Structure 1
């Protein structure tokens, strides 16, 4: 017996193959028909779109669900403008917590503060009334820690990245993060994951790629997020970032052995691996590479042996160069065509030039990128310029150049590094600080919708749908495609089938363009409504 069919009518559909379409019929999780209202077939029930725009739903290709949920429901420091404001926020948040609680906060970014002075461990002790404090920087690759937390991890003092001030990076940061996040109860984690997934659904996101691993989360956290796939909203596809861990990734239910498998760190923490030193760091400070080319090669060979997609986190050009050398080594063993067929991924790829881009093309690498990085930190006066200098800042995140030569792009947020904000990300790609790297609305939207599906390995099984391969088209509105779409109010209007995201006034266009973004009315995943405006 088939499920009831639903006719959505009276709208505007983003369907380049049939730009006149105003209605679509959903049956058994797929689009059974698409056309004009006057030609619509009969259905068991009907939904009046009232002129709203219907587009394919978004895919966020890089998230951290639990951390995002904790940031949404906990101490958000993204608005702090100084170290004193951080301490004041900690004091207010901690006042209602038990004496033995751990204060968890996220999002501070000293690069935009007038004096860039961060509070030290003793200041955090006083602000939190002696409680343990862990405050992750916006990049999630460093954190401020109180003396009480440092005392709970005695081995941290000898680890790379330790600093007596309490601002920790590298291995030292991993040690304290494990202890701090270990304080979160199972119920708290479940609640945080639910908060994140519901927020994603409310923004028209129908699928997310969860990036976990032994250095970023835990096996229990990772499998708990995967178990929520399609329960609280979007589908969840997991990537497990453990070196030589393809078999373990498969056992955990991951679709790939990659994601946050760190080839380097982050620009905000000065740990991204660069070929030229940081402009604001030690004279010889180029960050840190965590993998060798041989390790990259061997991981890709392990992925091939297990039939798994692989991938790496690589931000700096030196790290990307190491990864590409490893790809060349793997191609020498497997053959280039077999390596390309696996469509391995690189996450972030922020500092990348033409020769490195050519390596992505040669090896068929998917670039999982975050346009909001440029919006928040690009240009001539923000964090990238401080860390790298203006020239390298304006050359960063060259999404338009990569798209132009055929690199498959999959856009995401890296939430909670940047907020879940798909239309904001599309606009950021259109309004890159460097005009050379800008994308059209259609190309950027495709990278945040169809690109997220294309970034998944072939034959991946849909969570919760036993034995059914991902055989029909994803990320498009077309007969036979999955009925996965979002319904939007578009206060600035529609142009070329997509919402207007940039001002008509040239002087207002840019990363901070004031044009109002679309508002999601409904999100549909394979025919099922996972979000409806006004419904709790």
Structure 2
């Protein structure tokens, strides 16, 4: 088996600064300095990479691949500054593709000068076409009447309105929109998403699927696709270990986790809060699962030997999560819950005592640092929704790390883009002082933490160590790695010895 030596590189590993790495098959066979590497030349293929940097390949611990990939040919609304601009964008897309599904994403209305458009105005722009336009957080959407005709029961569901749908009404409309996406379009969207992830140094993604988000067929197609490894989760609650086993077998999921909603999002006023929103009098958000249901799900998954997990954003949702975990620990045992390695997504409003209890129960927190970069700070969306005082406590990464909670970084694409260096930078440069991570902690959370979140507790997972899987990325060595705001360019992404992305001009020389 040919050995390949990468020479002239710097290694960025959570605890390494070695200068050369040797790959043999699917494993890293040796790590050391350049001088020692010369002694290993006979029989080796040498790849000279002066000034390049090698890191462990990144793991994005929370994605929605099809929805993100659809934006490659969808309607990008992230730059829309008003309802009028949104309607004009829809009308232009319909004119270009009469009658076709309009899949759009990314609008944010909190700073618009006008109100959300009523459905009657969207229908005029849609001219009879089915239209689905998700808000940036994907917890509410503007939809046309033509789409509603394909979504029975929406008008009777919680969250129905004549502007933006939320709650169960939104979930029903989203299912109808996804059902309108043909398999050819879906396959192209998934392929585009995975190729983009690989080009950004990502070798593993955690797909957070579920009945309110995608479909079993969508997840199966994604898991079978070449490219970055897909770790699939299915967000559906169960009450018994037998139900858990049957559902895991039916979906092929790693666990019954991911976006199993306890609540919604702050942007859509659906995150569950202890006290009302500052900008919506009397509103405390949505509650989809209570503590008893959470406890039953965790206990069932613990006994079945599979991961449980939940989408949790608001502080009231965090209260329900902790109460449910405690109930599951009482029904099984704290040791059994800890051994199962359950996870929680987002966890944006959590206090230090809750963080310590999560650490005691071995719960991994899958968090998204770009949420803070996008919406944190004294003038950001969090402050608008919660007031400045409450907003300062959002996304307390430092408190979670100090409590011993394992962190795994991700994007929640399409909510924020797959951009691991931007996520690392956002985790370090948190907009609330003392809430961020160190660079080493952030890099570890986007590599080692991703494997831990998927249940891999090997000390070699996500590391550049002899014996570790050959999962690494090669970078041009500039940008973020030197402290600037620019991203380095990914030259190659490799996972378990297989090249996923290759932009290297040089090739190895056999010695």
Q: How far apart, CA to CA, are the structure 2 residues paired with 1:28 and 1:85?
A: 53
Between the two proteins, the alignment pairs up a number of residues equal to 497
Task: Give the secondary-structure state (helix, strand or coil) at the position aligned to 1:285.
Answer: coil
Contact 2:356 2:404 in 1 (8 A): no
From 234, 243, 254, the equivalent of 1:240 is 234
Distance 2:467 2:206 in 1: 24
1:253-282 CA-partner distances (Å, limit 9, x unpaired): 21111101111111111111010111111x
Note the alpha carbon deviations across 1:205-252, whole angstroms, 9 max, x for none: 010100001111111111111112xx1x21110111110152212432
Partners of 1:183 and 1:237 in 2: how far apart? 25
1:174 matched to 2:171: yes
Superposed, 1:347-358 pairs within 5 Å as 347-358=345-356
Task: Give the alignment's TM-score, normalised by structure 1.
Answer: 0.90
- Does the 8 A contact of 1:111 with 1:382 survive in 2? no
Q: 2:317 aligns with which of 316, 319, 322?
A: 319
Distance in 1 of aligned mates of 2:30 and 2:449: 24
* 1:225-264 aligned within 5 A: 225-228=222-225, 231=226, 233-244=227-238, 246-247=244-245, 248-264=247-263
Q: Which residue number in structure 1 is paired with residue 270 of structure 2?
A: 271
1:324/1:97 CA distance change after superposition, 3 Å: same
SS of match in other structure, 1:249: helix
Q: Is residue 133–residue 146 contact of structure 1 (8 Å, CA) maintained in 2?
A: yes
Question: Displacement of 1:349 after TM fit?
Answer: 0.4
Unmatched segments (≥5 aa) in structure 2: 506-511
Q: Residue 373 in 1 paired to residue 371 in 2? A: yes
> What's the TM-score once normalised by structure 2's chain length?
0.94
Q: How does 1:103-122 map to 2 (within 5 A)?
A: 103-113=102-112, 115=113, 117-122=115-120
Aligned pairs for 1:108-507 within 5 A: 108-113=107-112, 115=113, 117-165=115-163, 167-228=164-225, 231=226, 233-244=227-238, 246-247=244-245, 248-281=247-280, 283-458=281-456, 473-492=460-479, 499-501=481-483
Per the TM alignment, residue 154 of structure 1 is displaced from its structure 2 partner at its CA by 4.8
* 1:191 counterpart SS class: helix
Q: Which stretches of structure 1, 4 residues or longer, exceed 6 Å deviation after superposition? A: none
Deviations 1:95-154 (A, max 9, x none): 22242x2111011111233x2522221222222222111100011110001122224435
1:340–1:31 distance in 2 versus 1, CA, 3 Å: same
Larger mean Cα displacement after TM superposition, 10-19 or 390-399:
10-19
* Equivalent pair of 1:18/1:35 in contact (CA under 8 Å): no
Q: Cα deviation per residue 1:27-56 (whole Å; 9 max; x = unaligned)? A: 121111111223221344222212101111
CA distance in 2, matches of 1:204, 1:456: 19
Say whether 1:529 aligns with 2:499.
Answer: yes
Task: Give yes or no for contact 2:295–2:324 (8 Å, CA) kept in 1.
Answer: yes
- CA displacement at 1:16 relative to structure 2: 6.1
Distance 2:150 2:13 in 1: 57
Separation of aligned partners in 2, 1:189 and 1:76: 17
Residue segments in structure 1 that go unaligned for 5+ positions in a row: 460-470, 494-498, 503-514
Given the alignment of the two structures, is residue 520 of structure 1 paired with residue 507 of structure 2, yes or no?
A: no
Q: Residue 153 of structure 1 aligns to a residue in which SS?
A: coil
Structure 1 counterpart of 2:508:
none
SS at match of 2:421: helix
What SS class does the counterpart of residue 427 from structure 2 fall into? helix
Cα–Cα, structure 1 residues 129 and 18, in superposed 2: closer, same or farther, change >3 Å? closer
After superposition, the Cα gap between the structure-2 partners of 1:154 and 1:306, relative to the gap in structure 1 and judged at 3 Å, is closer
Query: d(CA) in 2 for partners of 1:238 and 1:157?
Result: 32
Offset of 1:322 from its aligned partner?
0.6
Contact 1:120/1:146 (8 A) holds in 2: no
Please provide the CA RMSD for this pair: 1.7
| Structure-2 residue corresponding to 1:91 | 91
Match of 2:5 in 1: 7
Q: In 1, are the aligned partners of 2:492 and 2:504 still within 8 Å (CA)?
A: no
Aligned to 1:506: none
1:324 is paired with a residue of what secondary structure?
helix
Give the Cα–Cα distance (whole angstroms) in 1 for the partners of residues 203 and 456 of structure 2.
19
Distance 2:222 2:198 in 1: 15
Name the CA distance, whole Å, in 1 between partners of 2:459 and 2:465.
10
Distance in 1 between residues matched to 2:311 and 2:456, nearest whole Å: 21
1:5-33, Cα deviation, whole Å (9 max, x unpaired): 222111111246552x3221111211111
Query: Which one is further off, 359-368 or 133-142?
Result: 359-368
Partner of 2:509: none
Taking a change above 3 Å as real, the CA distance of residues 219 and 15 of structure 1, as seen in their structure-2 partners, is closer
The answer to whether the 8 Å contact 1:61/1:368 transfers is yes
Q: Distance in 1 between matches of 2:66 and 2:479?
A: 34
Q: Equivalents in 2 of 1:74, 1:492: separation in Å?
A: 30
The answer as to whether partners of 1:256 and 1:457 remain within 8 angstroms in 2 is: no
Structure with more contact order per residue of length (Cα contacts < 8 Å, sep ≥ 6) = 2
Residue pair 2:408, 2:445 contacting (<8 A) in 1 also = yes
